[in-house]
Amino acid sequence: MAEDVAADQSGPAFDPTVSHSARIWNYWLGGKDNFAVDREAGDRVAAMLPSIVPQARADRAFLGRAIRYLANAEGIRQFLDIGTGLPTANNTHEVAQRVAPDSRIVYVDNDPLVLVHARALLTSTLEGACDYVDGDLRDPDKILAEAARTLDFTKPVGLMLLGILHHIPDADEAYAVVRRLVAALAPGSYVAINHSTSAVSGQAMEDAVRHWNKVGTPSMTLRTPEQISRFFDGLDLLPPGVVSCSRWRPDRSGSSGEPDEVDEFCGVARKP
Ligand SMILES: C[S@@+](CC[C@H](N)C(=O)[O-])C[C@H]1O[C@@H](n2cnc3c(N)ncnc32)[C@H](O)[C@@H]1O
């Protein structure tokens, strides 16, 4: 399914006339760091697939729940967040440092606009640390080398790959990148992945992504929940496994029943 939905693999250029993933995402999350072209592309996709806005917000809410879980329950104090996106409310370091002020966070993105806004991501507590690497997921060795300025890779790290692996069209390359990153982590580290699929909305999601791939960069490649599960091969997947991110340990306060599924599937796993 859906590999044909992928377009070419072009890297980001700071061109305000071409819509871009980080800025459209920012628009859907209610942010202000986007251009008219991003809002037009975002509205067009939302017209084809109204669930995309709740999906973006469910993805972001998963980020918060996953980090709080890792920081609170597993005592993780270091995070490597690749595919950071534009700063918004509840960035990784804010969530982690609210639990443990001594948390150390490295952000990585390859979008020039995210780099411009990176200062807003570097507001660490005095006890902790934040750094930003202008890097590409397809070059994991560079990311690991630069992240080592801030993170101690002999100790557990929470590797966050949220909303980014679907930007690598070649499945073999995507799996290889994750394997390389995981190999560098100490036992007891965790990997959190969130990845677009069309398991819930089917054709509507595939049409929306096909449109995205005509107007936006970088391209998106949808994968099935089974293909997403393969990113966790060799790791201990935590309950409830690979599920729609709205259903990963949802906050049940004040709500009844299961949240609606969205076409963003996720999982969290431990390196044995
Ligand atoms: C959809 S946003 C997700 C933002 C955030 N992780 C979240 O879940 O809310 C995807 C981000 O990945 C970045 N990105 C895409 N391909 C990348 C690559 N090959 N290397 C580094 N960053 C990349 C984009 O620039 C964008 O900021």
Q: Which pLDDT score is estimated for 17? A: 80
Answer yes or no: are the C-beta atoms of 53 and 264 closer than 8 Å.
Answer: no
Query: Is the omega angle on the peptide bond into residue 169 within 30 degrees of 0, that is, cis?
Result: no
Is the confidence at residue 272, as pLDDT, over 80? yes
136 pocket-lining for ligand 1 (C-beta < 6 Å): yes
Residue 255: predicted pLDDT: 66
Angstrom CA distances, 80 to 96, 151, 269, stand at: 12, 8, 15
- Atom number of ligand 1 nearest to Cα 168: 19
Atom 12, ligand 1: which residue's CA is nearest? 83
pLDDT at residue 118 in the model: 87
Measured in angstroms, how far is the CA atom of residue 162 from the centroid of ligand 1? 7
Furthest-apart CA atoms within the chain: distance in Å = 49
With cut-offs at 50, 70 and 90, classify the pLDDT of residue 10: very low
Residue 93 beta carbon below 6 angstroms from any ligand 1 atom? no
In the predicted model, what is the mean pLDDT of residues 40-66? 91
114 Cβ inside 6 Å of ligand 1: yes
In this structure, which amino acid lies at residue 86? L
Helix residue ranges per DSSP H, 33-170 = 36-48, 52-72, 92-99, 112-116, 140-147
User: Given ligand 1 and candidates 53, 60, 107, 110, which is best to mutate, with the most ligand atoms within 8 Å of its CB?
Assistant: 110
Query: For residue 254, what pLDDT is reported?
Result: 67
Q: pLDDT band for position 9 (50/70/90)?
A: very low
Ligand 1 atom at shortest distance from the alpha carbon of 111: 25
Structure tokens at 18: 């071409």
Which amino acid makes up residue 140?
A: P
The CA-atom distances, in angstroms, between 243 and each of 37, 195, 200, 253 are 32, 10, 11, 20
Which single residue is written with the structure tokens 């099935």?
224
Direct distance between the N- and C-terminal alpha carbons of the chain, in angstroms, rounded to an integer: 31
CA distance 264 to 80: 20
pLDDT at 13: 56
**What global pTM score does this model have?**
0.92
The 10s digit of each residue's pLDDT in 210-258 is 988 988 788 999 999 999 999 999 999 999 999 999 999 998 776 668 8
> Looking at ligand 1, which atom is closest to the CA of residue 60?
9
Q: How far is the CA of 164 from the centre of ligand 1 (A)?
A: 5
Q: How far is residue 142's CA from residue 9's CA, in Å, rounded to a whole number?
A: 20
Cα separation of 148 and 151, whole Å? 5
Please report the pLDDT score of residue 2 as a whole number.
34
Q: What is the pLDDT of residue 1?
A: 30
Q: pLDDT digits over 14-41, tens only?
A: 677 888 888 888 899 888 888 899 999 8
Whether the per-residue pLDDT at 61 is higher than 90: the answer is yes
Choosing from 9, 107, 137, 164 the residue with most ligand 1 atoms within 8 A of its CB, the one to mutate for a pocket test is 164
What φ, ψ does residue 8 adopt, rounded to 5°? -70, 165
User: Which range in 1-5, 73-77, 200-204, 259-263 is most confidently predicted, on average pLDDT?
Assistant: 73-77
pLDDT class of 12 with cuts at 50, 70, 90: low
| pLDDT tens string 78-124 | 999 999 988 888 899 999 999 999 999 999 999 888 898 888 888 99
pLDDT tens digit string along 125-177?
999 999 999 999 999 999 999 999 999 999 999 999 999 999 999 999 999 99
